[in-house]
């Protein structure tokens, strides 16, 4: 009898251990989860989760079972205590109506930093996502001590010369990377010995050519032109055509020279400039574009909460911190410092 009881007990322990091992190696997605929050829980990276689970993007859904590295949250906490960001990082939980640019503005950080700190390759976010919104160093660590939320590294070869590199993630292209770092596509190709625009995920690119001071100077200079490689339409024609309609009256649903509404103005002008796009609402164009931290001529400008909740107005950036759009009073150029538009500003975006 004793042997039988011992056997049953041992079997139960083994079964329990096996169950814990299986549970630690997989995770069932809960409502409000994001790849980033799951990566943080299991002390891994978003890229690793996507690779292990063969995910092409960051979209997950409740009850989906993901393979993880098996590390518990308690192990993660112990390891994070030695990480330079752990004790002084602050986080923000996404609420309905939030956008990345709005969160970045609220915490006085750049959109590129926000995406970099949270290893984001898309601006798509969901309520309940938790993002790191500030980081401050409390000590020196090596790259291996960092949990991998950043893919930018700076190696110093002398006191004044630094080479900054960027690791290509899914969805990147040269124009997007150039815009992020305030450099030109031609410079990126020259610094990296590229003969074409072809890049691949995981590739490391020099993004300042080895001279940090000149790159920073260039980043601080307002954009007054657009590199032709970054867009697939004629920017000069877009801006000139837009300004030719200044004073044209507002017509609800209008998309012709006889009268425009804000989205109809976008539809007409971009097609005139050589980009074939459909006739969508402001939401439709919002969902077909990505955020840019540093606007170029011809980029889209979005506003929220004007006559309705959510994204409700759209214009075109024309330089000098101004945009042109079809307002209720007609087509006009307006400063982004205008108190009304500044209050409703959402961000700058560019068509995919």
pLDDT tens by residue, 18-60: 444 444 468 888 877 778 778 778 878 777 888 888 887 777 7
- Give 79's pLDDT tier (boundaries 50, 70, 90): very low
Q: What percent of the chain has pLDDT over 90?
A: 26
181 versus 85: the higher-pLDDT residue is: 181
Helix axes 262-272, 235-243, angle to 10 degrees: 130
pLDDT for res 249: 93
Tell me the mean pLDDT in the region 206-220: 49
Q: Tell me, what's the pLDDT at 69?
A: 64
Identify the residue with better confidence: 282 or 156. 282
Average pLDDT over the chain, rounded to an integer: 74
- Please name the residues in contact with 138: beta carbons below 8 A apart, sequence gap of 6 or more: 84, 86, 87, 88
Q: What is this structure's pTM?
A: 0.41
């Amino acid at each position: 009898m004793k042997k039988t009881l011992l056997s049953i007990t041992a079997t139960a322990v083994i079964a329990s251990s096996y169950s814990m091992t299986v549970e630690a190696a997989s995770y069932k997605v809960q409502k409000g989860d994001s790849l980033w929050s799951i990566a943080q829980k299991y002390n891994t990276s978003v890229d690793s989760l996507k690779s292990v689970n063969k995910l092409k993007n960051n979209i997950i859904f409740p009850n989906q079972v993901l393979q993880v590295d098996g590390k518990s949250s308690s192990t993660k906490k112990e390891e994070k205590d030695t990480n330079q960001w752990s004790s002084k990082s602050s986080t923000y939980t996404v609420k309905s109506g939030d956008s990345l640019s709005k969160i970045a503005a609220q915490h006085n950080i750049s959109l590129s930093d926000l995406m970099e700190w949270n290893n984001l390759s898309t601006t798509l976010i969901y309520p309940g996502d938790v993002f790191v919104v500030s980081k401050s160093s409390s000590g020196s660590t090596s790259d291996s001590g960092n949990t991998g939320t950043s893919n930018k590294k700076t190696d110093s070869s002398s006191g004044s010369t630094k080479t900054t590199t960027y690791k290509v993630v899914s969805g990147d292209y040269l124009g997007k990377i150039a815009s992020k770092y305030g450099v030109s596509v031609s410079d990126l190709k020259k610094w990296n010995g590229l003969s074409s625009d072809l890049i691949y995920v995981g590739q490391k690119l020099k993004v300042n050519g080895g001279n940090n001071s000149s790159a920073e100077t260039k980043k601080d200079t307002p954009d007054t032109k657009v590199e032709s490689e970054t867009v697939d339409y004629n920017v000069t024609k877009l801006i000139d055509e837009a300004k030719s309609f200044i004073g044209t009256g507002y017509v609800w649903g209008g998309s012709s020279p006889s009268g425009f509404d804000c989205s109809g103005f976008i539809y007409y002008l971009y097609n005139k400039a050589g980009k074939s796009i459909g006739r969508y609402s402001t939401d439709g164009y919002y969902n077909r574009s990505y955020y840019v931290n540093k606007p170029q001529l011809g980029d889209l400008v979005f506003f929220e909460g004007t006559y309705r909740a959510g994204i409700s107005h759209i214009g075109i950036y024309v330089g000098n911190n101004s945009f042109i759009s079809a307002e209720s009073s007609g087509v006009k150029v307006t400063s982004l410092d205008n108190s009304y538009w500044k209050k409703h500003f959402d961000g700058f975006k560019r068509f995919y």
